[in-house]
Structure 1
Amino acid sequence: MASAETSTPDTGAIADEYDTIVVGAGFAGMYMLHRVRQLGLSTVVFERGSDVGGTWYWNTYPGARCDAESLVYNYAFDPELRSDYQYRWPERFSRQPAILDYARHVAERYDLRRDIRFDTAVTRAAWDEPARQWVVETDRGHRVRARFLISAVGCLSDSQVPDIPGLNTFRGDWFHTGRWPREREVDFSGKRVVQIGTGSSGVQAAPVIAQTAAHLTVLQRTPQFTIPAWNVPLTPEVVDASLERMQQMTAQLGDTAKTRRLWEIFGTKKTFDDSPEEREAFFEQLWQSAAGAFPFGYLDTMTDPAANEEAAEFVRRKIRSIVKDPETAEKLMPRYPIGTKRQIVDTGYYETFNRPNVTLEDIRADPIDRITPEGVVSASGKLIEADVIVFATGFDAMTGPLFGLNIEGVEGRKLQDAWASGPQTYLGIAAHGFPNLFMLTGPGSPSVLSNVINSIEQHVNWLTTLLEHLQEQHVDRIEADLEAQARWTQHCTDTANETLWPQTDSWYMGANIPGKPRVFMPYLGGNALYQTEIDEVAQKNYEGFECRSEQAGRQPV
């Protein structure tokens, strides 16, 4: 296994032209590289970090861990890789170092680093119509051409620090959880820490920071529903029991999984099929074991407001029972439908507010006004003194990382202009006006509402088959049909509108970014139904795509 201090080798020179350029060397970029190599395509991967891992390279903040179970948050494409590694995972929900170690292990096992150019960010990608190529520029001065451009930049990689006046005057240190320092350890011992934000990274960071800080003040705008991880070491006995449980669940679903939407995957009955006593017992069972799947225990939690309120009120009762101070407990009460924001899994989050060195401030009631050299000042004039400020303020999700590549399609149209009213994709993988561009886990795919590695493998496997088909047919230009794109985007919207998700301001809706269109961006059909959808497109000769070759002009694939 690679150590956490693996050094990056010299990865060689850059050619002028490739068959394929991949942007990003996280789990999506690594697997895409592996598969295009199998097709015999010349490929280079540009990665702005100094090593593989993507999210797990950058997110090294205190408490960072995955909210999907280790035994499923890994590649399935190679049964030997999975079986060799499954007994190495240290915990049910692994911490960042263990996941980064796994990514490095994969890079070594398949000799991936030789085709990756690290410390290199793509600054512009422009479509050259006459040449039918993408021209990609980097911050290292490269200007490289390729027939196909594949984005593997991830959905949560564009860190957002809020524009708060006076930040540059602060005399202490400040950090964003998504860009935590790698060159040194951040020591909170004896310091007054202000944490801004209580999303997933904030919920994970606060309990750890509180252990050593002299005082931690958490500035909360929106309370979160978070479910205990009940994390345990993965002994061989626990691994065997977990694998058996997962196999039983898969067998129970059988072929019905192919038609079930995300919110229907785990449930077998509706909320009010049970008596109040039965519901309470079932919610307790979910609380003790379901982790992030808690909102999906009943079939109708995500579609029926009354059913959702039953689940939400159960969690509120748990908060009241855990948090000793009634006023603090009330501040922690979420009032939106449970599950409609990212479902967080925690280790001791609510308990943290019982510590004498932790304070919770409601910045919806008293917003942040400015930052001074001494700390954070609220609109009421209250100064919260700080030696360190931690921004747990999230990301410009899904579209932000793509816009950061400065993609220009047909006739120089920028992707952000084409998506001015919200992202428009076909299958979450392609966009009209941007030929030969493919987006792994893009808007309009299950992506962030799935086990993301499953979604990555779905996209990469499907795209690999498509690229092979294009080679065989000598097709050099493929583009999503405008009408097919409109139908798919509407299908995603209609699916979301069957649920409660769009009723909540969340980063799924772009609500955390000022001025961003309010559009529900992921596809809520879930991985199984999505696989059925994309397989059908392939079986119908890639219906919904327009293709051209030098010999035949425009034609279906």
Structure 2
Amino acid sequence: MQSFDAIVVGAGFAGINQLYQLRQLGLSVKLFEKAPDVGGVCIGTNGQMQPATLPKETQAYMNHVVERHNLRQHMQFSSELKSANFDKSDSKWMVQLSTGETFKATYLILATGRFNKIVWPSIPGQEKFAGEQYHTGLWDEHRDLKGKRVGIVGTGSSGAALLVGLAKEAKQLISFQRSAQYVIPNNKGPVSAEYRDNVNKNYDEFFKKCRRCGAGFGFDPVPADYTTFSVSEEEREKVFEATWNHIYGLAFTFASFSDIMTNEAANRELCKFFRKKIAQIVQDPEKREKREKLMPPPEALYDKRPVCSSGYYEAFNQDNVDVVNLKKTPLAGITEKGIETTEKLYELDVIIYATGYESDGTWADITITGPDGTTLGEHWAEGSTSYLGLLKAGFPNLFFVIGPQSSLANIPQHAEFHAEMIGKLISKADKMRKEEESAAGGSNTVLVDATQQAEDDWVKLCDAIIKQTVYYGGESYFFSDHNTVRKPKSGRHVLWYMGGFDNYVDKVQEAVEAYRGFTFVY
């Protein structure tokens, strides 16, 4: 059986970066990816992005990195991780793949991503529909929806982005929504040659700025005392308007006022602004009913993961685009002809499910068995936990890139940071092994683990932080009781560190450099 120092699972941003960094340490590493090429979820869900140029350019960049650093020779594609078992006889992880192959490794790094397990809705009659059915997470790039009657189920990020693109293509487009969301424009576009040149010359500064940003995107930090009601109504309106036109849709959360997500009154002030913008955009008197369906109820807060898509509300001004509120006219089921509500049957040629991913299910669904014979799934029956988003106590030498209770932030930035931290922990273990080998002549594996107390304390901290925000009352993938079978018996179980990426970086670096909360044993 072939053995490596480390096995990395996943060939997205996280896995490629981790492979590179471990190779830099001189380790023998093999990366396995279930898809036929590099890309990860960023490429696999390109139905969310229009035009398709963006995922193609992203994949081209990834391929460029792989070729530049000669990493492809260490990769194996179309090979899905099926199970992993810790072998106590030699303290190594034994990995089984979909190809039937088995390998061993001292370190197993799961760079599988938080968003790759698709959530399919369970709607009576789905199997009866005579037309085409898709999920945005399994998008057929070569599909042709021109001139067709299309229904989109779901109004999260993928549903909103897809709607904008298909509005120009479909004969009829209907958004079936359970809950209306505030959709913020993402005003990105081609950059100038001068801007590109500036980035090329100052990469280090840009990356440093990203790490000092609460979202990992490089926003300038908002002073703590710059709060929603610390300014006049006129200035508040100007700030909101400028943020609406910002290049990043996440700017309302991180680059407007410091208390938007911690002060309910401030959050409601922002919601008032959003409602006014929707009314300004969807203003045709004949569209009044449509506009009301697009607005969350007045009591609703801006308390979910921000949905960003330029041109979303504008699309509903088109006569071929409509919205159905499934709370007012509940979904009855799917028939051979289309989607039926308690009000009427909507005849369709295509149904697209934009129902997202299970952010708590990626790892638990893989049979990963620790030294005590129990699996991750058994440990995480009520929600996944980890120490710093890096390790699960009791599963030595098993690392996660952006695991449970990681910071909610820019994924590539976060992945690179985690790859560095995992590299430091492995370097420490490898140094200990070499010292022991030199002194005693043996060659025992050093096991890197987290203490259960450190893990418990970290999860408690994440829980305490989110309870101080408006997110705690919202329904989103921030918690294990949303879009997952792993529901806590009482209360809510938080899946993310919501204290800001900058603060997260400080806490993780401090813990790793002091080796606090970790154990290193032979």
TM over 0.5: yes
- CA shift for structure 1 position 111: 1.7
Give the Cα separation in 2 of the matches to 1:382 and 1:154: 40
Deviations 1:422-452 (A, max 9, x none): 2221111101121111000011111xx2111
Contact conserved, 2:149 with 2:172, CA < 8 A, in 1? yes
Give the Cα separation in 1 of the matches to 2:428 and 2:167: 55
Structure 2 counterpart of 1:382, one-letter code: K
> Percent sequence identity over matched residues?
34
Give the Cα separation in 1 of the matches to 2:86 and 2:212: 42
Residue 418 of structure 1 aligns with which residue?
379
Give the Cα separation in 2 of the matches to 1:62 and 1:460: 27
Residue 450 of structure 2 aligns with which residue?
480
Secondary structure, in 3 states, of the residue corresponding to 2:290? helix
Secondary structure, in 3 states, of the residue corresponding to 1:330? helix
Residue 333 of structure 1 aligns with which residue?
295
Contact conserved, 1:134 with 1:146, CA < 8 A, in 2? yes
Correspondence 1:437 to 2:398: yes
Contact conserved, 2:184 with 2:309, CA < 8 A, in 1? yes
Residue 349 of structure 2 aligns with which residue?
387
Contact conserved, 1:49 with 1:57, CA < 8 A, in 2? no
Give the Cα separation in 2 of the matches to 1:497 and 1:389: 37
Residue 34 of structure 1 aligns with which residue?
20
Give the Cα separation in 2 of the matches to 1:312 and 1:161: 30
Residue 439 of structure 2 aligns with which residue?
none
Deviations 1:125-170 (A, max 9, x none): 1112232111111111011111111000011111111122222221
- CA shift for structure 1 position 242: 7.9
Distance change (3 Å), C-alpha of 1:153 and 1:373: same
Residue 345 of structure 1 aligns with which residue?
308
Correspondence 1:61 to 2:31: no
Q: CA RMSD in A?
A: 2.7
Secondary structure, in 3 states, of the residue corresponding to 2:429? helix
Deviations 1:268-301 (A, max 9, x none): 5011111111111111111112532112310111
Contact conserved, 2:212 with 2:501, CA < 8 A, in 1? no
Distance change (3 Å), C-alpha of 1:257 and 1:109: closer
Contact conserved, 2:118 with 2:137, CA < 8 A, in 1? yes
- CA shift for structure 1 position 65: 7.6
- CA shift for structure 1 position 231: 2.6
Deviations 1:287-321 (A, max 9, x none): 11253211231011111100111111101110011
Residue 524 of structure 1 aligns with which residue?
498
Contact conserved, 1:305 with 1:337, CA < 8 A, in 2? no
Secondary structure, in 3 states, of the residue corresponding to 2:340? strand
Structure 2 counterpart of 1:347, one-letter code: S
The one of 499, 502, 513 aligned to 2:472: 502
Distance change (3 Å), C-alpha of 1:256 and 1:444: closer
Give the Cα separation in 2 of the matches to 1:244 and 1:498: 40
Contact conserved, 1:436 with 1:479, CA < 8 A, in 2? yes
User: Which runs of 5 or more residues in structure 2 are unaligned?
Assistant: 434-444
Give the Cα separation in 2 of the matches to 1:395 and 1:354: 29
Give the Cα separation in 2 of the matches to 1:31 and 1:227: 31
Distance change (3 Å), C-alpha of 1:63 and 1:531: closer
| TM-score (structure 2 length as normaliser) | 0.89
Correspondence 1:368 to 2:342: no
Contact conserved, 2:47 with 2:139, CA < 8 A, in 1? yes
Contact conserved, 2:385 with 2:455, CA < 8 A, in 1? yes
Structure 2 counterpart of 1:473, one-letter code: M
Residue 87 of structure 1 aligns with which residue?
none
- CA shift for structure 1 position 391: 0.7
Contact conserved, 2:150 with 2:349, CA < 8 A, in 1? yes
Residue 442 of structure 2 aligns with which residue?
none
User: Which runs of 5 or more residues in structure 1 are unaligned?
Assistant: 1-14, 67-93, 550-557
Residue 359 of structure 1 aligns with which residue?
322
Secondary structure, in 3 states, of the residue corresponding to 2:84? strand
Structure 2 counterpart of 1:95, one-letter code: L
Give the Cα separation in 1 of the matches to 2:494 and 2:292: 29
- CA shift for structure 1 position 485: 0.7
- CA shift for structure 1 position 546: 2.0
